[in-house]
A and B are shown apart, each in its own frame.
Chain A
Amino acid sequence: MRWDFLSSYIPVLTDAAVMTLRLSIIAFLAGLMLGFFVAIGRMLGGRAVDAVLRAPVDVLRGTPLLVQLLAWYLVSSALGLPLSPFAAAAIGLSVNAGAFISEIVWGGLASIARGQREAALSIGLSAAYSIFAIELPQAVPAIVPALIGFYIGLIKDTSLAYILGLYELTRTAKLISEREFRPLEIYLVIAGIYFLMCFPLSRLVAVVDRRARSKGMAQARITI
């Protein structure tokens, strides 16, 4: 293996890492908003709202993210409102994240005993107040580790944005390897960069989990 070629690519790799982080953070924040909105809407809205919101969630969870990213790009062009590759990737990742995060939040809320809502209602509080002030705070210890775990996956999923021509880490690595004919080295390097982004977060999950457990608050494990 030879590594000497790498030094000249440090600025390019830095830009690529920034692109990866940018996409993942945008998608995570937008996904959080969407996810909470959908989960709480499903909890509060009754059966009809639940059915309406669940259908797109099922589609988004049941189709490959790669296909979804392409679809945002191609369908927007076909409709005459073309999205830039970055916008298509950011929107595609965000909407997909929203679907998964809504399941995490919904699962956390569903793990809270029914009696909590009934007790809140019985003293005259509204269902919405009960969700925000009574149920969500209790669900946080179950939701937060699952959200961090999801974000770890999201960082790696941004690699799929290469299909839209975005120079995030994976596509950048491909480009460098084609120029230098050193695929093994460069892919090892970007694997290392992904790992450095994700590993601290997976340690954080363990810490958050342990703290919740020691307070007797970690209930159901949420799996999606």
Chain B
Amino acid sequence: MTGGEPASARISSPAGERGMARSDSVSASARLPIVLLEGVTKEFGSLRVLDSVGFRVFPGQRIVIIGPSGSGKSTLLRCINGLERVTSGRVTVDGMVVGDRGTPMVQVRSEVGMVFQQFNLFPHKTVVENITLGPVRVRGVSRKEANRQAMELLDRVGLPEKAHEYPIRLSGGQQQRVAIARALAMRPKVMLFDEPTSALDPELIGEVLEVMRELAHEGMTMLVVTHEMAFAEDIADTVLVMDQGQIVEEGPPSKIFNNPDTPRARAFLSRLLERSRRHEKV
């Protein structure tokens, strides 16, 4: 890994001490960014939710985005797979400009998996139908092959026995693990997680984080919006702190959590730490 890449000016190299130890695919494929944001601004009416945000994500990178609510974290993820149209600036995924006339959204979305806070499983379809819908309808995989892959994925998220249940019969944690399997079934190159554990009861959070941790170890490129600091510290190679639609600080978790440079990052982190301490006491 050479240090002279322009990319590493914006974002710390994925081959930092944490990244390197995890996965050797990182250094091999780290030349071209898989996701590239340039001056991305998003406005809802007069409200500016994202304010010329720019960063790069390299294959194998695991980026955790933190920041106060309303700081634009979710909107940022949603701009990457085109659920929100950017007001100005440019989002590029695997060389395709998102929202461009020439770019088929289907292709962008097949390469970007997304996991939502509210799981959003299809309630009228069984677990295995939820997982196979994308591969069969979009990727053109045969039903038999899609079912086989779905069972493999269910094994990976630890729910093979739930294949033919309807989502309503599953706990929140199980639903979220199915939602992860559904996203993975499209064989995406990047996975976006939008507060995947925020809607879960505390005792169900661990099982979801465990699945995500495993994904990270397998070398999946991940962007995670979360308030789970221990998890962030454990899996992230880069942490972005957002506030008022801007990235106010970015760096390796050890730096961000222990010694943030900017006052805004410091203020947010101290509030967060205080909250999690309060939780531990309870």
Contact = CB atoms under 8 A, between A and B. Distances in A.
Nearest to B131: A123
A123 B183 contact: yes
B75 to A, nearest CB: 13
Interface in B250-271: none
Interface string B125-151: 000000001100111000000000000
B176 interface: no
B121 interface: yes
Contacts of A122: 81, 83, 109, 112-114, 116, 183
A63 B58 CA distance: 61
A215 to B, nearest CB: 9
Contacts of B183: 122-123
Contact of A123 (B107, B118, B124, B133): B133
A145 B120 CA distance: 26
Contacts of B179: 119
B238 interface: no
Could you say which interface size class chain A belongs to?
10 to 19
A125 B113 contact: no
Could you say which interface size class chain B belongs to?
20 to 34
Nearest to B138: A124
Given A123-B183, A124-B186, A115 B114 contact: no
Majority secondary structure of chain A interface residues (helix, strand, loop or mixed): helix
Contact of B134 (A113, A118, A125, A138): A125
Interface in B162-209: 168, 179, 182-183, 185-186
A123 B116 contact: no
Given A115-B120, A118-B120, A138-B124, A123 B83 contact: no
Contacts of A126: 106
A119 to B, nearest CB: 4
A119 B176 CA distance: 12
A171 B16 CA distance: 87
A120 B109 CA distance: 10
B89 interface: no
19 contacts: A115-B116, A116-B122, A118-B114, A118-B120, A119-B114, A119-B120, A119-B121, A121-B105, A122-B83, A122-B183, A123-B134, A123-B138, A123-B186, A124-B109, A124-B139, A125-B134, A126-B106, A137-B124, A138-B124
Interface of A: 113, 115-116, 118-126, 129, 134, 137-138, 216
Given A119-B121, A119-B179, A123-B113, 9 more contacts: A116-B122, A119-B182, A121-B105, A123-B109, A124-B139, A125-B134, A126-B106, A138-B123, A138-B124
Which 4 residue pairs of A and B lie closest in terms of their CB atoms, listed nearest first?
A123-B134, A119-B120, A124-B138, A115-B120
